[in-house]
Structure formats: structure tokens, C-alpha cells
Amino acid sequence: MPTLIEPKLISGNANLPLATAIAKRMSLYRGMTVGLVNARVERFNDQEIFVEVYENVRGEDMFILQSTSNPANDNLMELLIMADALRRSSAARITAVIPYFGYARQDRRTKARTPITAKLVANMIAEAGIERVLTMDLHATQIQGFFDIPVDNLYASPVFALDILNQFKDMSDVMVVSPDVGGVARARELAKRINAPLSIVDKRREKAGEIAEMTVIGDVTGKRCIIVDDICDTAGTLCKAAEVLIENGASEVHSYITHGVLSGPAVERITNSVMKSLVITDSINAPEAVRNAPNIRIVPTAPMFAQAILNIWNGTSVSSLFETETLGPIYEGIL
């Protein structure tokens, strides 16, 4: 398939360090400088968002780098307004690279008179002129079907598998744990990659933010447990699950979470918890408190996103990045 002209990256304010890292990795892969398009994304005095692109983008293959993390509404509007600016500037194709897709937790109607916000956001993205979405570890895989445009959903599990095999030299006593029944498929995928057994923490929730009861399904006695999940918000469930695992005989508890939202008392809870370590990705720009926490570690996603962007631009397979064999050389010397 013939390629379009050179890929061009533009970033909002949500995660500039990740955007810069992706540009550097693409420069390394291509042997030529790939920079961020010169633009300004600012606020009027009443906090309306203003976007101005200083470079010609007519006929260009544009990639907007923007997580819709906290503040979710501001970052989402930045994404939509940047897309509109590029569309009206005659960009040939606009791809939204959304490492963390916000509003994904509202993916179905669990009660009467509630919205399906993930579908609403999908409609807004398509209407803004975005033609493709690249994201990572959607909260629910069916959200891909909410879009009428192509969606490439990357997975953190191959990167986590590489990191675990590097950090845990002896895998004989390692067990992967899903913190709830809904996350079993995600935990099973990682367990297969590292050839480890699987356990489940069954939780009964009375209402949002409160855990009434937790039960461990499986024998974790003497095991080094690795809790796997896609989102950690206030860390209440995660820290409670770690305590329950220790109470049931686990020797250590570690956690691998894709998106470290870590709002409210999360960092303090994690620092004071029985968890030996929490590993998150840089899909969300980590504040200083997270970076300085003694038992929180951040693994980079820029190598994977840079390669995925190049594959989309080239018209080659993105699903090849699901394999550890493909990501291994990309992450060599990083993890």
C-alpha cells in the first residue's frame, strides 16, 4: 500500500512528556527528526479553549496525541477543537492517539436513567473529523464497537510481561490475580504470557467507592501475587485486595495497572499499603507525588505508540505489537 507523505504529530496539554517521548522514538526508528507540529493550545480568560496551528498541514497525515485524563472535560475539548482546526486546514487524514480514553467506565446502562457516555464521546470524536483512533487498554473492549471509524486498541500486557520477567527472576512462586471477576480475561492474558497460575478476588460492592466484602478464589499461600487491572483511581479496592491476599497467605503483593488515575488519597494509600510495588504506564502524565512515591514505578509506552503510529502511517499491521517477540527488541535496554 502506498504511504501518505510524512507523518506529523501534534499534541494537546494532557501529556506533553509522553508526546515528546513518542516523537523522539519515531525519530530514532526512522533515522530522521520527527518533531511536534508548532501550535498553541491555550485558554481565554473564561477558560474557553483556543487552538492555533502555526505550520501548514494541508494534505498531511496528522496524529493528535492527547489523553482524556484529568481534567477530562478540558482535555477532551482540546482534542475535539484540535481535530476541527486540522480538518478545516485540509489535513489529509486525522488520527487521534488517546493513550488513556476517559469516560470509558460508563460503557453501559447499569441503572435506569443513566447515560452511556463512552458512546457519546465516540460520536463526538467522529463528528470532529477524526478518522481513526489509537488507544491502549480500553476499559471495556466493546467500546471499539461504539465507533463508526477504525479503532486500534493496544495492550499493556506484552510490556508488563517483559517487565515482570525482568524483575521477577524466579517465576516458580508467582501468581497473577484479577481484582474482580470482570477483569479475569485481562489477568488470564498476562498469566499466559508469563506462564503463571491465576487467582481471583471476588468483591461485593454495596455502592460506588465502597467495598463490602472480598473473597479470594484460589490458593495464594506462599505466592508472590501480581494484581493486574486497567485503571487505578482512588486505590481503595487495590489496597484492600492486597490486604486480603496477605491475610490469605501471600508472601508479597505487587500490582501492574495500565492507567494510573490515582486521584484523591490514592498515593498516600499506596505508600502506606502492604503492596511492595505498583507499576503503572505513562498513559497519564504523573504528578510529582506519584513520581516521588517510593513504591510506584512507571514503565514507558512511547516505544509501543511510536511503532504503532508508524505502522498506521505505513499501512502495516498494528496487531503485531500484541506479541512479546515484536515488542522485545523495541524495549531492549529500557525495562
Residue 203 designated active-site: yes
Query: Is 2 inside any structural domain?
Result: no
Asked if 236 and 261 sit in the same domain, the reply is yes
Asked if 185 and 270 sit in the same domain, the reply is yes
Establish whether 229 is an annotated binding residue: yes
Query: Is 78 inside any structural domain?
Result: yes
Asked if 146 and 211 sit in the same domain, the reply is no
Establish whether 213 is an annotated binding residue: no
Asked if 129 and 198 sit in the same domain, the reply is no
| pLDDT score recorded for residue 210 | 58
Asked if 309 and 278 sit in the same domain, the reply is no
Query: Is 129 inside any structural domain?
Result: yes
List the domain range (segments joined by +) for residue 19.
Answer: 7-155+302-331
Establish whether 236 is an annotated binding residue: yes
Separation of alpha carbons 51 and 83, rounded Å: 10
Asked if 89 and 188 sit in the same domain, the reply is no
Query: Is 1 inside any structural domain?
Result: no
Asked if 25 and 112 sit in the same domain, the reply is yes
Establish whether 137 is an annotated binding residue: no
Asked if 116 and 171 sit in the same domain, the reply is no
Which domain CATH number covers 327? 3.40.50.2020
Please tell me the chain's helix, strand, coil percentages from 3-state DSSP, rounded to the nearest 5: 35, 25, 40
Cell numbers 486505590 correspond to: 235
User: 144: burial class by Cβ within 10 Å (0-12, 13-18, 19+)?
Assistant: middle
* Count of structural domains, the chain: 2
Query: Is 70 inside any structural domain?
Result: yes
Establish whether 47 is an annotated binding residue: yes
| pLDDT score recorded for residue 27 | 94
Asked if 195 and 128 sit in the same domain, the reply is no
| pLDDT score recorded for residue 332 | 87
Full pLDDT tens readout for the chain, 335 residues: 444 478 999 999 999 999 999 999 999 998 888 999 999 999 999 999 999 999 999 999 999 999 999 999 999 999 999 999 999 999 999 999 999 999 999 999 988 999 999 999 999 999 999 999 999 999 998 999 999 999 999 999 999 999 999 999 889 999 999 998 888 999 999 999 999 999 999 877 666 555 568 889 999 999 999 999 999 999 998 999 999 999 999 999 999 999 999 999 999 999 999 999 999 999 999 999 999 999 999 999 999 999 999 999 999 999 999 988 888 899 988 87
Query: Is 103 inside any structural domain?
Result: yes
Peptide bond connecting 150 to the previous residue in cis, omega within 30 degrees of 0: no
Asked if 256 and 320 sit in the same domain, the reply is no
| Catalytic residue, candidates 24, 119, 203, 223 | 203
Query: Is 288 inside any structural domain?
Result: yes
Establish whether 202 is an annotated binding residue: no
Asked if 189 and 242 sit in the same domain, the reply is yes
User: Can you list the alpha helix ranges (DSSP code H) found in the chain?
Assistant: 16-30, 72-88, 117-127, 157-167, 184-194, 236-247, 266-271, 288-292, 302-314, 324-331
Pick from 73, 75, 49, 66: nearest CA to 10 = 66
Establish whether 141 is an annotated binding residue: no
Establish whether 186 is an annotated binding residue: no
| pLDDT score recorded for residue 6 | 84
User: 184: burial class by Cβ within 10 Å (0-12, 13-18, 19+)?
Assistant: middle
Establish whether 206 is an annotated binding residue: no
Establish whether 48 is an annotated binding residue: yes
Going from the C-alpha of 122 to that of each of 9, 78, 143, the distances in angstroms are 21, 15, 8
Asked if 17 and 45 sit in the same domain, the reply is yes
| pLDDT score recorded for residue 205 | 62
Establish whether 234 is an annotated binding residue: yes
